[in-house]
Structure 1
């Protein structure tokens, strides 16, 4: 199951969409196993209202129970309403893997490079029987909420906000520790793979780890005699 939220924050608000998504994931984890939370970058354009980066967030839940979808929607909706920020335009969408079709995948890809509309998002949701709801303001968040479903399904877009215990790493650590924390591969953009050594991250910042073809990858680059985080989005 995939739960996507978008447009839940404001420029002056106390938290962003990513933090809210992690709160939803923590609440859901009391009842269902959560694989992770991903962030997906959408189109930045003058015609698209957004706060800082125009990104959505998706919670990946490992369940195929017939009654899970309604319960997941209710949990996410309640957490969002309890932490609603005045001036935000949140949207919420929940779908199972079998509901994610080529049309939805293309919609997600379009959302990264073109201006989309609520009408297209709502029509797509209706045709695919996907639960989609605006939870305040203009409800423009339904556009990104639908997009995130298609992008997350491919497991080859964006980056993780939460998976395993990787977020607990806030300084340099060994490649072996990254593997133990939930990373599948540490490599450079030229294809060099690393199974030993120490990777240095910005102090106080966790690694940026990305879903790539279903694998969780940390990209690094060689700087002098050490490996450093090569940030990807």
Structure 2
């Protein structure tokens, strides 16, 4: 089964380790019987009334586990990981939920966070009704809002960008449509032709492939240029490195 582990507000301006990178690093802390299915970055509302470091972007580690008995140990490891790597002055939060929990209200909360200002009180009430773990781990504890939202948006299945997914960071550039599919990532043309892509066609990633979570799967949006080249949409490598 999948376990959603949402993290937020673990850094401050100028920190070397942002929330996205902290979540990627958590893969090294997983015990036997637990595997990282993917790490997702989500975008919440940008508003001057909301305190955030740079992008208001929580992250979620989606972990496959063989036995639910691993959940307490995973939660303890996540708490220790945040304590080890979160920046002084940050306001970290952690949310842990099983895919088998009733996450419907958490999904609604996550969607609301993309266009409305939410509160800690509302986050705690939603988590309590769903019976999921939601922990403030320092400072103002404001990170619980984004941590809960990250879980909701990941469970929603139609939001977020993969920071980690299988061999994502080791895939060649260019890469064929077929090879990308073998890596578990579906290439989808989103230009005006929206045509089915030839499995032999090469996709140019610019050294940074940025799949989205669409329909609960890893999907790479692809655009065909006037010269016929297929280009994967995403961030420039340096920008991605700094943010994630």
- Provide TM-score, normalisation by structure 1: 0.92
Long gaps (5+) in structure 2? 236-244
Look up the match of 1:74: 76
Look up the match of 1:221: 223
Look up the match of 2:165: 163
Does the aligned pair in 2 maintain the 1:41–1:54 contact within 8 Å?
yes
Relative to structure 1, is the Cα distance of residues 221 and 61 closer, same or farther in structure 2, using a 3 angstrom cutoff? same
Relative to structure 1, is the Cα distance of residues 170 and 41 closer, same or farther in structure 2, using a 3 angstrom cutoff? farther
Superposition pairs for residues 80-229 of structure 1, below 5 Å? Answer: 80-169=82-171, 171-190=173-192, 191-194=194-197, 195-202=199-206, 205-223=207-225, 224-229=227-232
Q: Distance in 2 between matches of 1:189 and 1:129?
A: 42
Q: Distance in 1 between matches of 2:28 and 2:21?
A: 11
Does the aligned pair in 1 maintain the 2:191–2:224 contact within 8 Å?
no
Q: Distance in 2 between matches of 1:21 and 1:49?
A: 20
Does residue 231 of the first structure (1) align with residue 210 of the second (2)? no
Does the aligned pair in 2 maintain the 1:170–1:207 contact within 8 Å?
no
Does the aligned pair in 1 maintain the 2:211–2:221 contact within 8 Å?
yes
Give the secondary-structure state (helix, strand or coil) at the position aligned to 1:225: coil
Long gaps (5+) in structure 1? none
Does residue 51 of the first structure (1) align with residue 53 of the second (2)? yes
Does the aligned pair in 2 maintain the 1:221–1:230 contact within 8 Å?
yes
Q: Distance in 2 between matches of 1:6 and 1:162?
A: 17
Look up the match of 1:38: 40
- Provide TM-score, normalisation by structure 2: 0.88
Does the aligned pair in 2 maintain the 1:158–1:211 contact within 8 Å?
yes
Task: Encode CA deviations 1:132-172: one digit per residue, 9 max, x unaligned.
Answer: 11111111000001111111012211111111101113632
Aligned residues: 230
Give the secondary-structure state (helix, strand or coil) at the position aligned to 2:42: strand
Q: Distance in 1 between matches of 2:102 and 2:159?
A: 15
